[in-house]
Chains A and B, each alone.
Chain A
Amino acid sequence: MNDGHSLAPESRPAMTAARPLRADGESREAVPDIRPTVTTRFAVNGRFHAVEHDVRVTLLDLLRERLGLTGTKKGCDHGQCGACTVHVNGEAVLSCLTLAASLEDVVVTTIEGVGSPEKLHPMQQAFIDHDALQCGYCTPGQIMAAIACVRDGGARDASSVREWMSGTLCRCAAYPQIASAVLDAAGKMVD
């Protein structure tokens, strides 16, 4: 699929040659970037990646800063807002609380992988049809949570949808429209 980003996956821009500056403005020898790294092999949206990375990197930062998959959003970095929700082996996870190093051999799906502009996922179409978004920032997380909600049996009725979707915050408060969209898409999802 077209990921629409100019940073090629798996290639990090070369470190700059610029020297660090001390507080007094004098330049000094760079401290080498020698933190332990690890190589994680996993698939994202059907594409295999082997990424060498700092052991502390979260899945969220790896997706955004290394793989150029910026559809997944950072809203709190503390697992409190749901904007970074992705699927790992089909399960909804908060990518800000998931260390990339823990993902050896898994399959990750992000908003860029659930559908394409030409062939939207029923949930994406339902979000458009029900105006279930305003600024659009939480929308990728809402859609990833919503797909998992339907798959996991949470879309029994409106009340159940609202309860399931309450972990994903929307400050524009498109909540009524989101609940309608999830119920609508639930009847159209095949898997």
Chain B
Amino acid sequence: MTEPSSARIGEPLPRVDALAKVTGMALFPSDVPAPETAYAVLLTSTIALGRIVRIDSSAAETVPGFLLLLSHENVAGCIKTPHAFAGLSTTTVESVQVMHDGQIVGLIVAQSYEGACEAAACVRIDYEPSSAAAGFDSPGVQRRRVKEANARHQDPRIGDADAAYVSAPVRIAADYATPTQHHNSIELLTTTCWWEGDRLTVHEPSQFVLDRRYLADCFGIPVEHIRVVSRFCGGGFGGKTSGTPRTALCALAARRLNRPVKLVARREQAFTINTYRAETRHHVRLAAHHDGRLLALIHEGMEITSRPSTYSVAGTEVTARMYACANIRTEVSIVHADRNTPGFMRCPAELPYMFALESAMDELAHALHMDPIELRRRNDTDRDPIDGRAYSSRSLMRCFDEGARQFGWSDRPAQPGTHRMGEWRVGYGCAAASYPAVLGASAARVSLDGEARARVQLAFHEIGNGAYTVIAQAAAAALGLPLASVEVELGDTRLPPSNIAAASNGTATTCNAVTRACAMIRDRLLEAARQDPLFGTDPSLQAAQLMDGCLVAGGARLPIASLVERIGGLVDAEGAYIVPDAPPGAIERLRQGIPAFGGGVHGRTHVALSLGAHFVQVHVHVLTGEIRVPRVLGVFAAGTIMNRRTAASQLTGGMIWGMGSALHEATIVDPGSARYINRSFADYLIPVNADVPSVTAILLEERDEVINPMGIKGVGELGPSGMNAAIANAIFNATGRRLRSLPILPRHLI
């Protein structure tokens, strides 16, 4: 009998969880049944700043099926102020104070969802509003440098950029702006939870189940008493990375009612009870020799945050490390306004900051009468311009060159506004994509049974990243098994600790951990093989490999199943990967809810970036200003690709995310009331199928020898990076109009 061939790294295999997802069998957290569930509905504030004067719940309490109203009147003191994951938030219903629009001010629970909605509609809340500061230009905002607010932040700089700028022969200076944006995963923010004694179980979509620490802090109980489960997460995008006040309130309600409580927050509430991408402003100055070599790069950024938080994304960490330049100055400020606390949203720093840098590079190329790809070539570098560290690998120009060839870049009209097709102006644009190759820490348990079936367990997360698939593939490749022989269990705090699914670290971190555990199993199998009377003394055993279900050494092939049988029918091992610059005890810290991050731009010996190049064709209607994007191509290099199919899908999805950020998405903040205006899919536009006729992602081979044993850099957040600039650059090429504030709308072009 021939053994089935083993899975290989990189092979474009179908997702192992696709069957569950196309049949509706994949249980997302709000699908998990809980007997005798009571239904919760959140009450959120209708002012952005002020205090609650009175909550009149008398009518609500007469609604049939009403069970409970939680508000500051009966919550204060029952939930301790929890730690804050990214920045201090403000919404645990601890007082009458309202600090932002849509703040949670109460929770209604009833026997049925309909009853809870009716009761919530009957609650009357009187406020005493104060004048709220909505954004950058509002009176009463407070601005400060990030390096003053956050001791760990340093603004990258080298040389004397201001002096070099003033005396340079070619200069450009421009202001850019990106809007407020919200994650808007299609899955809503849900929580289903119940208590058994002093132990709490929470089913909640999550990118980091181990942030149960938030709840442990809220209720003053050990983390081990809390189980968080998220087998599937219906899109995260940074919006499901940490514990939230809604979970604490649901847990409190479940405790008081002594029954399971289920909350499905409304779409409009997701805009205010969670984090978001804050609006940013940038002032960028570039100076160059006539031959295009950069003389000075100055990038000043400004970001909105809430009153208590110092959260910032500070994307100058990346924009200062893209191109060779002897004189660089960066500076990032935060502006405190009366808003909810922002947080990670897909490609958090690079989406706004690369928009500014890559737009400015296009402006400089135009000022130099130079092709924008040529400008990047003249400033390509193999050393970090700030501190001289080498890149772990860098294929930026290979991406540009391959993209230019496949896209037909040579057809680009050099003069803006000169190419027309009927009533449409046609333009081409390009921009670099860049995202730090961040790594973390993860444990993984692998067990192999006597039928050569493997089970892999770790508390990582399937959020559309293909985690089930690439982790199964890593184990199958390492154990020499077909993909179908590997079962993966994720998304449960009972499993070995794993990292947060964020910052593109997941595939690299978890696959290295799984491979390490598999190597330990291989050693055990090798030991068993040494006991084999026929092959045990064969010197080629030293170089034995696991493949196609067998341990293969020289001419010998020993079935893995028989080796496992020989050592008791089950082999298991727990392995771990820990990024070299992680603080000691990284796995234990994970268990306590502290994610691990290292590498990227902060690696000790190297700077590590995943890189790529976007190419865009736009059509702009001469009369209406309507913008169409008939064709986009991205070429990326990100080290080892675990699965070319899931990686390409993540990248095309990311590119479309970037297209949305350029042409569709903006949360409008009313300057008078500091409230979000367009809190629905009818008003907050995201790309739909008709918006994206042709989107292609090409993956270049790239070997990274230093970043981690498997050479994986990650792609999850790479696709959106720079796409918005490529679109703005294409619109400039089509129309001669340089638009520096997103989103770009038809009215900006007529």
Contacts and interface: CB of A to CB of B under 8 A. Distances in A.
A166 B692 CA distance: 10
Contacts of A168: 689
Contacts of B18: 127-128, 131, 133, 136
Interface stretch (B46-54, B56-64, B81-89, B137-145): B56-64
B592 interface: no
For A69, A112, A136, the residue with the greatest tally of chain B CB atoms inside 10 Å of its CB is: A136
Given A128-B19, A129-B14, A166-B690, A135 B681 contact: no
B347 interface: no
Interface string B19-45: 111111111101101011110000000
Given A71-B24, A135-B234, A81 B689 contact: no
B21 A175 contact: no
B686 A169 contact: yes
B219 interface: no
A76 B14 contact: no
Interface in B61-76: 61-69, 71, 73-74
Interface in B641-694: 645-646, 648-650, 652-654, 656-657, 660, 680-682, 686-694
Contacts of B185: 135, 137, 171
Given A18-B257, A74-B188, A81-B186, A110 B19 contact: no
A33 B119 CA distance: 12
Contact of B692 (A125, A129, A173): A173
B535 interface: no
Given A35-B115, A116-B23, A143-B22, A73 B649 contact: no
Contacts of B465: 134
Given A18-B259, A169-B686, A75 B693 contact: no
A78 B186 contact: no
Contacts of A23: 55, 57, 69, 71, 73-74
Contact of A5 (B15, B33, B61, B646): B33
A72 interface: yes
Given A133-B21, A139-B22, A174 B64 contact: no
Contact of A117 (B25, B55, B687): B25
A5 B27 CA distance: 10
Given A5-B33, A136-B234, A177 B649 contact: yes
B493 to A, nearest CB: 20
Given A75-B188, A131-B15, A137 B681 contact: no
B233 interface: yes
A24 B234 contact: no
Interface in A146-182: 158-159, 161-163, 165-179
A80 B680 contact: yes
B238 to A, nearest CB: 12
Contacts of A5: 33
Interface stretch (B106-114, B279-287, B336-344, B553-561): B106-114
Interface string A56-84: 11000100110011111111111011010
A139 B15 CA distance: 14
Interface size class on chain B is 35 or more
B186 A169 contact: yes
Nearest to A75: B186
Contact of B31 (A70, A77, A78): A70
A172 B184 CA distance: 10
Given A31-B61, A32-B64, A134-B650, A25 B74 contact: yes
A11 to B, nearest CB: 11
Contact of A20 (B22, B67, B689, B693): B67
Contacts of B649: 131, 134, 174, 177
A158 B462 CA distance: 30
Nearest to B62: A31
A54 B112 contact: yes
A95 interface: no
A13 interface: yes
A189 interface: no
The listed residue with most A CB atoms (<10 A of its CB), out of B25, B37, B64, B185, is B25
Contact of B235 (A124, A128, A161, A171): A171
Contacts of A4: 25
A176 B112 CA distance: 40
Contacts of A108: none
A16 B23 contact: no
Contact of B232 (A31, A135, A172, A173): A135
B651 to A, nearest CB: 10
B187 to A, nearest CB: 4
- B66, B186, B687, B691 — which one has the most chain A CB atoms within 10 A of its CB? B186
Interface in B611-662: 645-646, 648-650, 652-654, 656-657, 660
B186 to A, nearest CB: 4
B466 interface: yes
A172 B233 CA distance: 12
B4 interface: no
A106 interface: no
A50 interface: no
Residue picked from B28, B646, B654, most chain A C-beta under 10 Å: B28
Contacts of A140: 22, 24
Q: Which of A110, A125, A162 has the most CB of B within 10 A?
A: A162
A52 to B, nearest CB: 13
A169 B681 contact: yes
A65 B117 CA distance: 15
A70 B27 contact: yes
A70 B266 CA distance: 18
A176 B464 contact: no
Contact of A172 (B55, B67, B188, B653): B653
Contacts of A190: none
B418 interface: no
B113 A31 contact: no
B64 A175 contact: no
Contacts of A72: 24
B235 A135 contact: yes
A38 interface: no
B232 A127 contact: no
Contacts of B686: 169, 171
A145 to B, nearest CB: 10
A171 B14 CA distance: 20
Nearest to A66: B112
Interface in B181-195: 183-188
Contacts of A138: 186, 234
Contacts of A135: 185-187, 232-236, 462-464
Nearest to B31: A70
Contact of B36 (A13, A116, A172): A13
Contact of A33 (B24, B64, B71, B652): B64
Contact of A21 (B65, B257, B681): B257
Contacts of B36: 13-16
Contact of B64 (A7, A35, A61, A77): A35
6 contacts: A25-B74, A54-B115, A133-B15, A163-B690, A169-B186, A174-B653
Interface of A: 4-7, 13-16, 18, 20-25, 31-35, 54, 56-57, 61, 64-65, 68-78, 80-81, 83, 110-112, 115-117, 120, 124-125, 127-129, 131, 133-140, 143, 158-159, 161-163, 165-179
Given A31-B66, A135-B464, A136-B17, 13 more contacts: A18-B67, A20-B66, A23-B74, A25-B74, A35-B64, A56-B114, A71-B24, A120-B23, A124-B22, A131-B645, A134-B465, A161-B689, A167-B688
The 10 closest A-B pairs by CB, nearest first: A71-B24, A137-B234, A135-B464, A136-B21, A134-B464, A70-B31, A173-B656, A111-B24, A80-B681, A166-B688
Interface of B: 14-15, 17-28, 30-31, 33, 35-38, 55, 57, 61-69, 71, 73-74, 111-115, 183-188, 232-237, 256-259, 264, 266-267, 462-466, 645-646, 648-650, 652-654, 656-657, 660, 680-682, 686-695
